[in-house]
Amino acid sequence: MLWIALYFPHLADPPATSATAAIDLNNLAAWAGRFTPNVSLEKPCGLLLEVAGSLQLYGGLPALVRSVRADLRDMGYRVQLAGAPTARAAWWLALADHPRFVTELPSLTAALRPLPLRTLESGDKTFALLSRSGIRTLGEVWQLPRDGLARRCGQDLLDRLDRALGHLPEPRPYFQPPLQFHARQELAAEVCHTEPLLFVAQRLLLQLEGYLDARSAGIASFEFVLLHRNNRRTTIPIGLVAPNRDATHLLNLLRERLVRVALPETVHEVMLAADDIRPLSADNISLFDDEISTSKEWPKLVEQLRARLGTDSVRGLAIAAEHRPEYASIVSEIGTATTVAAGFGLRPFWLLPAPQALAERHGVPQLNGPLKLLIGPERIQSGWWDGPYEGRDYFVAQTSTQALLWVYRIPARAWYLHGWFA
Report the interface residues with other proteins, using CB under 8 A. Answer: 289, 291-295, 297-298, 300-302, 304-305, 308-309, 313-319, 328-331, 334-353, 374-375, 396, 399, 401-405, 419-422
- CA quadruple 139, 140, 145, 147: dihedral positive or negative? negative
CB-wise, 113 or 296, nearer to other proteins?
296
CB-wise, 257 or 300, nearer to other proteins?
300
The rounded distance, in Å, linking the Cα atoms of 222 and 206 is 14
The rounded distance, in Å, linking the Cα atoms of 18 and 338 is 55
The rounded distance, in Å, linking the Cα atoms of 181 and 26 is 10
**Shortest distance in whole angstroms from residue 337 CB to other proteins:** 5
CB-wise, 18 or 295, nearer to other proteins?
295
CB-wise, 165 or 380, nearer to other proteins?
380
Task: List b or e across 67-76, with b for residues whose CB sees 16 or more CB atoms inside 10 angstroms.
Answer: ebeebbeebe
CB-wise, 55 or 292, nearer to other proteins?
292
**Shortest distance in whole angstroms from residue 16 CB to other proteins:** 46
User: Residues 320, 323, 326, CA angle at the centre, nearest 5°?
Assistant: 70
Phi, psi of 248 (to 5 degrees): -65, -45
Nearest to 247 by CA among 292, 181, 343, 342: 181
Q: What is the dihedral of CA 263, 266, 269, 270, to 10 degrees?
A: 10
The rounded distance, in Å, linking the Cα atoms of 290 and 110 is 55
Nearest to 3 by CA among 75, 86, 76: 86
CB-wise, 103 or 216, nearer to other proteins?
216
CB-wise, 150 or 404, nearer to other proteins?
404
**Shortest distance in whole angstroms from residue 355 CB to other proteins:** 12
**Shortest distance in whole angstroms from residue 70 CB to other proteins:** 25
CB-wise, 192 or 321, nearer to other proteins?
321
The rounded distance, in Å, linking the Cα atoms of 215 and 209 is 10
Helix (H) or strand (E) holding 210: helix 194-215
**Shortest distance in whole angstroms from residue 201 CB to other proteins:** 21
**Shortest distance in whole angstroms from residue 351 CB to other proteins:** 4
Write down the H helix ranges in 99-193: 108-112, 124-132, 138-143, 146-153, 155-165
**Shortest distance in whole angstroms from residue 303 CB to other proteins:** 11
**Shortest distance in whole angstroms from residue 323 CB to other proteins:** 10
